[in-house]
């Protein structure tokens, strides 16, 4: 398989340069304090793999963290952050440390085999969003099947090959299910899938899920089959949302209150279906930001985290890189949302008044904000 970590050294050094500059200027410290006063950052992980597993997986780099990097991150975070348990709403009172919440999407087997032992060592609560109809399955999701097929036929190397596969997967996301599966079948041809990928790219069994649940891990729904809900008929979207919750509750003998949107895609109709299905909180994944007390409980932003967001140019965990790639990103998302909300209020105000703002009125509004 192609290496999932194929970004250029130049890009890595550039990231380290800007992170170091922001740290030296004091901006990263200010941003951490600003975010801390407003809410919690919800982190989205997918997979935590060993070096040998990295040589076999068909998952893309944007989904992966090395096991040693994850352990170093949790060791650092356990001393410098406060972990929020998503079983309940975070305590919104400003505390001494910035709050983080840890979530995993998809329910990969490494969540049980690698993540849980590391997280329990540092007493970190976390949520796993699972896909009930894909449990205990090798190569359960079409992006991995696509990557495995394209990796065999790609003529590129390193970052070019990874980028080519990534673009192909993004293009397939927009297609209807039947057309997408037809194209993937054509890619696979008669050669079959790489066995090495199938051995590592598998999801947890219900037995593993039940064991983690008994040990205190929280489980939420990631739909029944991982279809992107905004690309399927609304009736199918409802089925994905409702049946997955029922399956989890039946298997685990408890309530399922948490939901995450596949690929982070949501619409007004989909959001209403999730609310009506009985979930308490639902999480996005494509709108990095901060979970504040004013957030819509069914549109809670998260920040995706992979190896690139945690390590320096030498591949070692770096608190500065984490602050830059994750905390800084979340702060920008929150600031943009605040500005967007302010502009919407101003627009509604102008529409209600039926007149255009005069310079004096703009100046007055600026002073009062």
* pLDDT of 160 over the 80 cut: no
Instruction: List pLDDT tens digits, range 119-149.
Output: 999 999 999 999 999 999 999 999 998 888 8
Distance between CA atoms of residues 292 and 143, nearest Å: 32
**Can you give the pLDDT at residue 363?**
37
Q: Which residue has the higher pLDDT, 294 or 192?
A: 294
* pLDDT of 150 over the 90 cut: no
Least confident of 36-50, 185-199, 293-307, 329-343: 185-199
Least confident of 40-54, 107-121, 166-180, 345-359: 345-359
Distance between CA atoms of residues 362 and 366, nearest Å: 6
pLDDT band at 9 (very low <50, low <70, confident <90, very high): low
According to DSSP, the residues that pair with 300 across neighbouring strands are: 283
Rg (Cα) of the chain, in Å, rounded? 22
User: Are the C-beta atoms of residues 320 and 76 closer than 8 Å to each other?
Assistant: no
Q: What rounded mean pLDDT belongs to the chain?
A: 87
Instruction: List pLDDT tens digits, range 205-218.
Output: 999 999 999 999 99
* pLDDT of 113 over the 80 cut: yes
User: Are the C-beta atoms of residues 305 and 323 closer than 8 Å to each other?
Assistant: no
pLDDT band at 359 (very low <50, low <70, confident <90, very high): very low
* pLDDT of 94 over the 60 cut: yes
Can you tell me the mean pLDDT for 26-40?
93
Please return the burial class of 315, using the count of CB atoms within 10 Å of its CB with bins 0-12, 13-18 and 19+: middle
**Can you give the pLDDT at residue 92?**
81
Q: Which residue has the higher pLDDT, 288 or 101?
A: 101
Helix intervals (H) in 98-176: 110, 116-121, 142-153, 158-173
Local structure of 121: helix, strand or coil: helix
Domains plus CATH for the chain?
A: 9-343 (3.20.20.370)
**DSSP sequence for 229-274:** GGGS-HHHHHHHHHHHHHHHHHHHTS---EEE-GGG---HHHHHHH
* pLDDT of 332 over the 70 cut: yes
Q: How many CB atoms lie within 10 A of CB 206?
A: 15
The CA-based angle 127-132-136, given to 5 degrees, is 95
Q: Which residue has the higher pLDDT, 290 or 92?
A: 290
**Can you give the pLDDT at residue 254?**
92
């Amino acid at each position: 398989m192609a290496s999932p970590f194929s970004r250029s050294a130049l890009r890595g050094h550039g990231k380290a340069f800007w992170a170091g500059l922001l740290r030296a200027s004091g901006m990263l410290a200010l941003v951490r304090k600003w975010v801390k006063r407003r809410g919690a950052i919800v982190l989205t992980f997918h997979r935590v793999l060993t070096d040998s597993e990295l040589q076999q997986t068909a998952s893309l780099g944007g989904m992966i963290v090395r096991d040693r990097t994850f352990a170093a991150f949790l060791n650092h975070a356990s001393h410098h952050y406060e972990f929020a348990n998503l079983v309940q709403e975070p305590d919104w009172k400003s505390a001494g440390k910035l709050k983080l919440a840890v979530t995993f999407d998809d329910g990969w087997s490494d969540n049980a085999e690698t993540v849980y032992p590391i997280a329990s060592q540092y007493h970190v609560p976390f949520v796993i969003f699972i896909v009930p109809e894909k449990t205990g399955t090798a190569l359960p999701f079409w992006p991995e099947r696509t990557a495995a097929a394209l990796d065999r036929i790609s003529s590129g190397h390193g970052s070019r090959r990874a980028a080519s596969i990534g673009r192909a997967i993004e293009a397939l996301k927009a297609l209807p299910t039947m057309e997408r599966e037809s194209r993937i079948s054509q890619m696979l041809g008669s050669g079959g899938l790489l066995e090495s990928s199938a051995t590592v790219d598998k999801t947890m069994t219900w037995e593993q899920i039940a064991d983690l649940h008994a040990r205190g891990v929280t489980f939420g729904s990631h739909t029944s089959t991982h279809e992107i809900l905004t690309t399927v008929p609304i009736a199918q979207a409802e089925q994905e949302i409702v049946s997955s919750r029922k399956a989890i509750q039946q298997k685990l003998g408890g309530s399922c209150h948490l939901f995450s949107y596949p690929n982070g895609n949501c619409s007004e109709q989909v959001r209403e279906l999730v609310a009506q299905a009985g979930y308490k909180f639902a999480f996005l994944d494509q709108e990095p930001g901060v979970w504040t007390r004013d957030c819509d409980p069914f549109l809670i932003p998260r920040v995706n985290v992979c190896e690139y967001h945690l390590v320096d140019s030498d591949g070692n965990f770096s608190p500065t890189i984490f602050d830059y790639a994750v905390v800084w990103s979340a702060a920008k998302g929150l600031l943009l949302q605040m500005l967007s909300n302010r502009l919407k209020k101003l627009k509604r105000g102008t529409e209600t008044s039926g007149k255009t703002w005069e310079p004096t009125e703009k100046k007055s509004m600026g002073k009062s904000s």
